[in-house]
Amino acid sequence: MRLLFKRPSFLLQLLWLGCLAACAATAWLALQEPWLGVRMAVDGDKLRVVVDYSQQITPGAEVRRVISATGSAVELLPLDLTENLDSFASYLEKDKFFAKQSAMDAMLRMSKVSLVWLDKNNAEHITSITPRPRPLASLSAMFWFTLFVVSTAFMISCWVYLLSPKDWGARMFALTGLTLLMGGISGALISERALALDGAWFSQLDNFNSLSGQAMGGAILAMFLSFPRALVAPRTLWWIPALFFPLWLANTLHLLPDSREPMLAISVQMILAFIIAAVQWRHTRGQPLERAALRWFVLSVLLGCSLFSVTNIVPLLFDQPALLPMGYAIGFFLIMYVGIALGLSRYRLFDIDEWAYRVFLWVAGATSVIALDMLLIFTGVTEGASLGISLLLCGWLYFPFRQWLWERLVGATAPKFDNLLPELSAIAFIAAANEQQARWEALLRRIFDPLEFKQSEQDKAGGVREEGLGLAVPGCGNLPAYMLRYAGRGTKLFSSRDALFAASLSQLLQQIMSGRTSYEQGVTQERLRLGRDLHDNIGARLLKLIHHLRGTPDADVARDAMKDLRTAIAAMDSRPVPLSNALADWRAEAGSRCEAADCRLHWQQSEALPDIELPPRKKAMLESVIRELVTNALKHAAPSSIKVEIDVNGMQLKAVVENDGSIADPLAWRDGYGLRNIRGRLEELGGGLSISSAGNKVQMTIETPLI
């Protein structure tokens, strides 16, 4: 049995049964009051019949007074049906109200009561009514709505508490649910009275309702002190009731100068709560998850409490009637409880940023209309005209401002595909895989600005992770998947909108890369066809020419043409060549040329070569440059030796070709066709050629990047 009471589901069921029992008891108490079978409502400065279950009084008739069986009469006023006793500015007025309620309650408990009413022609009628037990069906929709709201709020607060029973924020949240339930029950009994309650019982309900409001405000204040960071020690929270309970007690004992002081106390509690929220905002700097919870928390309280205050508390402070019956206005608190439950349970917090701004703008718009409407009424404008003017001015001024502010807060920070499409296309058509990956990573960093950025092997599916702290970006093509954490340099969370945008980027890049692959496959096939045609047709004819010219000087020319043809065909091959293999090919060809010219070749190269591969075209162009340098030396200098030094430093190739032949000063040279070709090829590769001499030796140096 002890284990059963530790199960949250079992405890939640017990609490639900207790809540149902409290609501049933409230309905039973409401049915114990004497009932005339008539429902009345305030219409301006008159009381009118809404429903007469006995069908003796015409609906819409004005009720003037009630007469007891002994003949005593009491004039009925709209104030007799008030449900918000905070509208009384002095204790004397409130005591007179309770005395009148007691007198009418005593009249209703007699055997017979008469109502004096006027029909639409202002003819006076007297109807005798025998008070009888009140049926359950007579309880109003507002009564049941109030019980539904406070019960739901209470169960939400208990659910959050059972999720984190040791968390003081959850404990204070549960306390607000309990105080709202108590206040809702007392308020429902007050508003549902048929006409009158016993003054002493009415006064107790009013004091209990006031205590519930004070306790709820204090609990909200304690929540802000405890969530998401504990700003004070738990024992310090006892100072809150120690400060505000004496105020309630003084009001109960009629010791305050104004009976509306408790309303001001609740307003002070809300102001203090938002000041503490600002302190929480400062303390949660660099913690996006906590800030997201705090933002949702503050907006939930702002929305619920502000709407309730604007419709009930603020009008009374300006001696104006409430804009909405308290039984319905209490429904605004349900919005607050749902929002706080989402914040405290940390559920889907990564979607709150955009919704937070929408809620804020919505509340600001509604508040501006109501505030302007009240201001115009206060200055003497009629209710209908003030509402029309308020809507007109807000339509002209607020909504354009709201749209501008929304674009500044949300729309301006959202990246657009049309701006990113050229960059995605450039990334897709980069030939080098490492450069393509670097450009893609740079784009993701610029868009999301994460604090952590790393490749992800396990999480290849995109989406929001760690309740908004992380974002998984799916891989595309040869690019890996990534995990990004702490968006905006740790100032915000990733949202589902970010996940959708990242997935769309990856998908679009994949489509562009697929188009590039198809294009390259077509180019490769065409190159292979041209290579086969050159090899099978031109190559065969050159080979036949070499055999025909064998033994003649022209045979060497034909052989050189054949080598150039093979180099061009090799350049069409789409397969890259390892650097070590390319150097071996260049050395072998240079060696054969020097041997044929009776010249010694000294070839030196770096022992440790980087493990890189040269694209076919780059390999062919460098091969042509080396061949041309060796050919020029053999042709123009008639050297006895040629020295070739190859040095690879990182991704940079340096080749020095030196000969000891007789040759003019390089400063007096004029570039011929061969040198112009060498310079043109090297410029295309991003390199260059330099020529120098030392004694009787000439050095031709080339430098070019390999990637």
Estimate to the nearest angstrom the gap between the alpha carbon of 549 and the chain centroid.
80
Which two tokens mark 388?
A: 């029309």
d(CA 481, CA 475): 4
d(CA 659, CA 663): 10
Q: Which residues contact 13 (CB under 8 A, 6 or more apart)?
A: none
Percentages (nearest 5) of helix, strand, coil residues in the chain = 60, 15, 25
Q: Tell me, what's the pLDDT at 350?
A: 45
Q: Tell me, what's the pLDDT at 264?
A: 72
Q: Tell me, what's the pLDDT at 348?
A: 42
Here the contacts of 661-670 (C-beta below 8 Å, separation 24 or greater) are 661/633, 661/636, 661/637, 661/698, 662/637, 662/638, 662/696, 663/636, 663/637, 663/698, 665/693, 666/691, 666/692, 666/693, 666/698
Give the residue ranges of the chain where pLDDT is below 70. Answer: 1-9, 259-263, 289, 313-314, 316-321, 341-384, 386-392, 394-418, 431-432, 458-460, 467, 489-491, 515-551, 553-575, 662-673, 695
Do 302 and 349 touch, CB atoms closer than 8 A?
no
Phi-psi region of 489 (alpha: psi -120 to 50; beta: other; left: phi over 0): left
Q: Tell me, what's the pLDDT at 4?
A: 47
- 374 phi/psi in degrees, rounded to 5: -65, -40
**Domains delineated in the chain:** 1-32+139-347 (1.20.1070), 34-138 (2.30.42), 349-413 (no CATH), 417-519 (3.30.70), 582-705 (3.30.565.10)
Q: Which residues contact 567 (CB under 8 A, 6 or more apart)?
A: 620, 623, 624
Q: Which of 82, 132, 73 is nearest to 107 (CA)?
A: 73
d(CA 264, CA 213): 12
Which two tokens mark 487?
A: 């968006």
Which two tokens mark 2?
A: 């002890």
Cα Rg, the chain, nearest whole Å? 45
d(CA 258, CA 432): 80
First to last CA, the chain: 75
Q: Tell me, what's the pLDDT at 310?
A: 74
Q: How far is CA 392 from CA 307, 369, 397, 399, in A?
A: 21, 9, 9, 11
Q: Which of 312, 314, 345 is nearest to 326 (CA)?
A: 312
Q: Tell me, what's the pLDDT at 468?
A: 72
What's the number of CA atoms in the CB half-sphere (13 Å) around residue 122?
0
Q: Over the stretch 100-142, which tens digit does the pLDDT of each residue have?
A: 989 888 888 888 888 888 888 888 888 888 888 888 888 888 8
Do 613 and 579 touch, CB atoms closer than 8 A?
yes
Place of tokens 């907006």: 299
Q: Tell me, what's the pLDDT at 434?
A: 78
Determine how many CB atoms are found less than 10 A away from the CB of residue 550.
10
Q: Tell me, what's the pLDDT at 179?
A: 93
d(CA 579, CA 706): 9
Q: Tell me, what's the pLDDT at 27?
A: 92
